[in-house]
Structure 1
Amino acid sequence: MNQAKKNVSLLVACQALAMTGSIILFTIAALVGVSLAADKSLATLPLALLQLATMCATIPAALLMRQVGRRLGFMVGVLIGTLGAGLGVLAIFQSSFSLFCLATLIFGCFNGFVGYYRFAAADAATEAFRSQAISFVVSGGIIAAIAGPGLAIWSKDWFVEPSLANEPLLNQAASAEYAGCLVMIVILQIAALVLLSGIDIPPLSEQEQQKSGRSLGAIAQQPVFIVAVFGSMLGYGLMAMVMTATPLAMVAFSHSFETAASVIQWHVLGMFVPSLFTGFLIARFGTLRIILAGAILSSLCIAINLMGTGALHFGVALLLLGVGWNFMFVGSSTLLTQAYTPVERAKTQAMHDFLMFAFVAFATFLSGRLLESFSWAVVNYIGLVMILIVLVALGWFRQQRGAIAKSHSTL
């Protein structure tokens, strides 16, 4: 196996471990928040802070990796994630909502590094293989989809006293419940650290170190950049908002934690299984058509969520949402690679992920507020507005591209 293939394989494995930890945390965080927070509308605040930290970490992570290289940069990120998960364990034992918020904030900084796994693979790939490289790395989430919810169920009662095991879900003392889930995340982080030691990605060239290319303003004015950001930002924001609210909504509609975890598992499978072929679909049908397909699938999720609140409704809707997210995320990430030159890639990727995770943080926090203050239906109606904006952006970009092609043909 040559080094390029080895790098991609290791990045896939690291993505799998990172996503497994994130899925465990996303499965339990809102429920821990409900148990710890005096104001139940703040239940999703820890996840919102996680997304906020991810947003804030994207630019420093890019700058760090520009200076020290991908491998060392990724290893620093994993150590930060280990610290965050460890603090989460302490927060649960101390029944401290503020400390749990700090823990998710630190863990979010780690996620700011994880976002560059896909770009590390894309940067090392040929142009023809770029979409497949991104897709393959994202496919690491398939393992996470299978393992994450199961590990959450298996580990959540590791430190629960037997006398409390049969207490109602939202009434259990949070001092011990779910602490095992955070310990599991620490174990996953240690495994990722070992794998990262085998990655060997060439450092930036002298040209990339010395030149900066166009300004961020000039890059951001390109229609291709605007549409890539809208596709990623709104597609990811919609997914995070609906997924974060789903466990809370399901418990409110009298579904068990195990049922909610199963729904999240099917959702995550929908997020990552398509990555086995999304890159090939992009090569066959084009990036814009795949983003459009993702928007349509996401709208079907909203429709099903509004039709009922049974376990089947939640399961099918979240599965469609996962596939829709995959098409929009991989498609938009691939589209972004058309917006920059090699010397511009670090700052362009950083700006893209900064904007994306800023909106995801907002949408994640908004989900709890909307669910607590209004209803599950309102959460979905807001998601529908996000989809409509993506559809408008795609239509505008097609018009812009058509106008440019027409002007070139008349020259």
Structure 2
Amino acid sequence: MSITPIHIFQQGHDVALVSGMMTAHLFAMFASSPFSGWLCNRVGISATIMAGLVLMLSVTGLNVLSSSAYVSCLSLFMLGLAWNILFVSGATLLVKAVPYPDYSPSAQGLGEFVTASCTAISCFIGGAALNDIGWKWINYGAVGMMILFVATRLWRNLEYFPGHFD
């Protein structure tokens, strides 16, 4: 999210396009919360996390295939949606994992702090990485990380539900 506007400016596009892209991204990030909550209740937390990871993998794949401004706009919208799905399902999983309900708010607060801290660090690193290695290589790294996350999620599902995927 933080380096896409810089990437678009590097391609020579104007502020109006970047503004529209960020509006679409922020809309997807926050307006999709009722959908994400419904999805968690309807198909379960694990399946919702997997859906968010697959959507995030699609975003990184799009960014590897094309660096045009319009593909970046679509991928930024999808990134906002994937972020929301993963954030809502992750927060739900965290609260359910706390054995004592009295500690759930503290656990959620700590989770929010860690998320915000990682986001801030990533924003600082993202600009330097865009300058040093470029847009494509950042997204190649993101594809690798997303494949690792999807594989880990599948492995955990198979471990807890061995007969579920037969």
Same fold (TM over 0.5): yes
1:48-105 Cα offsets, whole Å, 9 max, x none, are xxxxxxxxxxxxxxxxxxxxxxxxxxxxxxxxxxxxxxxxxxxxxxxxxxxxxxxxxx
Q: What does 1:56-205 correspond to in 2, within 5 Å?
A: none
Contact 1:244 1:364 in 2 (8 A): yes
Partner of 2:36: 278
Structure 1: how far apart are the matches of 2:101 and 2:34? 27
Structure 1: how far apart are the matches of 2:113 and 2:68? 36
Partner of 1:359: 118
Secondary structure at 2:117's aligned position in 1?
A: helix
Q: CA deviation at 1:334?
A: 0.8
Distance 1:346 1:269, change over 3 A: closer
Structure 2: how far apart are the matches of 1:315 and 1:295? 19
Match of 1:390 among 149, 153, 160: 149
**Aligned: 1:247 with 2:5:** yes
Partner of 2:138: 379
Query: If you compute each CA radius of gyration, which structure gives the higher value, 1 or 2?
Result: 1
Structure 1: how far apart are the matches of 2:161 and 2:46? 13
Q: CA deviation at 1:286?
A: 0.6
Identity of aligned residues (%): 26
Structure 1: how far apart are the matches of 2:119 and 2:147? 17
Gaps of 5+ in 1: 1-242, 406-411
Q: What does 1:279-294 correspond to in 2, within 5 Å?
A: 279-294=37-52
Partner of 1:313: 71
Q: CA deviation at 1:357?
A: 2.7
Structure 2: how far apart are the matches of 1:330 and 1:304? 24
Contact 1:253 1:309 in 2 (8 A): no
Q: CA deviation at 1:270?
A: 1.8
Contact 1:307 1:313 in 2 (8 A): no
Structure 1: how far apart are the matches of 2:108 and 2:30? 21
Secondary structure at 1:244's aligned position in 2?
A: coil
Q: CA deviation at 1:380?
A: 1.2
1:292-336 Cα offsets, whole Å, 9 max, x none, are 111111111112222223221111111111111111111111111
Q: CA deviation at 1:396?
A: 3.6
Question: Which has the bigger relative contact order, CA under 8 A and spacing at least 6?
Answer: 2
Structure 2: how far apart are the matches of 1:352 and 1:396? 24
Aligned length: 162
Structural RMSD (CA): 2.0
Structure 1: how far apart are the matches of 2:124 and 2:49? 25
Structure 1: how far apart are the matches of 2:155 and 2:32? 27
Secondary structure at 1:337's aligned position in 2?
A: helix
Q: CA deviation at 1:400?
A: 4.0
1:79-133 Cα offsets, whole Å, 9 max, x none, are xxxxxxxxxxxxxxxxxxxxxxxxxxxxxxxxxxxxxxxxxxxxxxxxxxxxxxx
Structure 2: how far apart are the matches of 1:299 and 1:396? 17
Distance 1:361 1:255, change over 3 A: same
Structure 1: how far apart are the matches of 2:58 and 2:66? 13
Q: Match for 1:318: what amino acid? A: L
**Aligned: 1:342 with 2:130:** no
Q: CA deviation at 1:388?
A: 2.5
Structure 1: how far apart are the matches of 2:77 and 2:53? 14
Contact 1:304 1:313 in 2 (8 A): yes
Gaps of 5+ in 2: none
Q: What does 1:211-230 correspond to in 2, within 5 Å?
A: none
Structure 1: how far apart are the matches of 2:155 and 2:109? 25
Distance 1:283 1:346, change over 3 A: closer
Q: How does the TM-score come out when normalised to structure 1?
A: 0.37
Q: CA deviation at 1:352?
A: 2.1
Contact 2:29 2:80 in 1 (8 A): yes
Structure 1: how far apart are the matches of 2:72 and 2:65? 10
